Amino acid sequence: MELILDKDIWDGFVEASPNGTLFHRWDFLQIVQKYTGYKLYPYGIYQKGELISVIPFFLRIHNGLKMMISPPPLPMANVPYLGFAMSPAFHELPPHEKIVAWDRIVREMHRGLKPSPNYVCIGQTSDISDTRPFEWQHYEVDQQYTYVLDLNKPLKEIWDGFDRDCRKNINECKTHPLSFREVNDVDRFNETMKEHLTRDGPTFYHRRDPAYLAELLRTFPANIKLYFFYNGDEIVGVKINLGYKKNYMSWMGNVSVRKGLSTNEYFYWELIKKAREDGYKRHENYGSYNPRLNLFKSKFNPALEPCFYVQKKDLLFSTMWRSYNAVAGFAKAIRVK
């Protein structure tokens, strides 16, 4: 395992990787480093001179303890997962060869991390579901979930799968002069999110300078889209969606600005149709643990797809973590899964 300092090599690998995401792209990682202050370590793992995996880590030092995390905590960058992006050749291996290679990759990662961390945390894409090599290295495993909608299905089949009340709400919205527009007003977006998430604060929107989102929009104009939803001339919703390769993600926003009108369901449906028209095959509405949000996301009949966070603490980190005073300090610095 060694650091990769060549953007073209890194992005070429991510683009070819079946589970490489926009979050793995070089410029995205550099922007995260710039605004979080966490130091980026873009590692590649080679076998017989061939690059077979990349994994970006971010270093956070707090009270002298070194934490290597991939991705940073959600309130810092709002990146739901990173972890390993694997080569096409790896994904095509037969089961026996794949588990042997995967075990070697995890062991090499664990051995090769520099500086040697007190804590490691990896949030992996749902494509990588085999956690056994991490367990063999005594990592703790936390299973989480994301919602996925298959956009290959006929549009009528997708519609018929929606909850009955959801379809009713969407049809009622059609009697209003609703529309959506792509905009770049990240300041208005951020203020709207902070205003409607006050009871959930401090959230990502309270912590992060809107310039972070503005730079992402400038850097990836074909992939990241900010939408304002209107009822006539009145803004009734805001949303940021992300598309890369075959995948389309409901990423940020989705707050209801105006009560009494089910605009969230209506615009969710409109953007699903747009994603299909744009050629995307998979729609992800990540996260399923918040009960209030879960009720909304499950209306659209998505599949529940598991994904995994793994973490490992050394003795020093575990000892300090058990200290009440240390916990109070760490809680401000990093969310540990």
Going by pLDDT thresholds of 50, 70 and 90, the confidence category of residue 180 is very high
Residue 123 has pLDDT above 70, yes or no: yes
Angle at which helices 211-219 and 26-36 cross, to 10°: 170
Q: Residues of the chain with pLDDT > 70: what percent? A: 91
Residue 256 has pLDDT above 80, yes or no: no
How does pLDDT run across 26-41, given as a tens digit for each residue? 999 999 999 999 999 9
Reading the block at residue 173, the tokens are: 């919205």
Query: What is the predicted pLDDT for the residue at 52?
Result: 96
Query: What is the predicted pLDDT for the residue at 320?
Result: 83
Rounded Cα–Cα distance for residues 273 and 295 (Å): 21
Rounded Cα–Cα distance for residues 89 and 66 (Å): 33
Q: What is the mean pLDDT of residues 83-92?
A: 96
Query: What is the predicted pLDDT for the residue at 259?
Result: 66
The DSSP code sequence of 188-232 is HHHHHHHHHTGGG-S-HHHHS-THHHHHHHHH-TTTEEEEEEEET
- What are 46-49's contacts with CB under 8 Å, separation 24+? 46/1, 46/2, 47/101, 47/104
Query: What is the predicted pLDDT for the residue at 63?
Result: 85
How does pLDDT run across 194-242, given as a tens digit for each residue? 887 766 667 888 888 899 999 999 999 999 999 999 999 998 889 999 9
Going by pLDDT thresholds of 50, 70 and 90, the confidence category of residue 290 is low
Query: What is the predicted pLDDT for the residue at 70?
Result: 97
Which residue carries 């972070």 as its tokens? 212
Rounded Cα–Cα distance for residues 186 and 273 (Å): 24
Reading the block at residue 208, the tokens are: 């992060």
Going by pLDDT thresholds of 50, 70 and 90, the confidence category of residue 71 is very high
Nearest by Cα to 60 from 32, 22, 82: 32
**Residue 270 contacts residue 246 (beta carbons within 8 Å):** no
Nearest by Cα to 54 from 98, 132, 111, 108: 108
Mean pLDDT score across all residues of the chain: 90
Residue 61 has pLDDT above 70, yes or no: yes
The answer for residues whose C-beta is within 8 angstroms of residue 38's C-beta and 6 or more apart is 32, 58, 59, 60, 69, 72, 76
Q: What is the mean pLDDT of residues 245-269?
A: 84
Residue 336 has pLDDT above 50, yes or no: no
Task: For the chain, list the domains and their CATH numbers.
Answer: 2-144+308-333 (3.40.630.30), 153-280 (3.40.630.30)
Question: What is the model's pTM?
Answer: 0.92
Beta-bridge partners for 182: 227
Rounded Cα–Cα distance for residues 281 and 301 (Å): 16
C-alpha distances out from residue 146 to 135, 167, 259, Å:
22, 22, 27
Q: What is the mean pLDDT of residues 115-143?
A: 94
User: How many Cβ atoms from other residues are within 10 Å of residue 202's Cβ?
Assistant: 12
Q: Residues of the chain with pLDDT > 90: what percent? A: 74
Going by pLDDT thresholds of 50, 70 and 90, the confidence category of residue 335 is very low
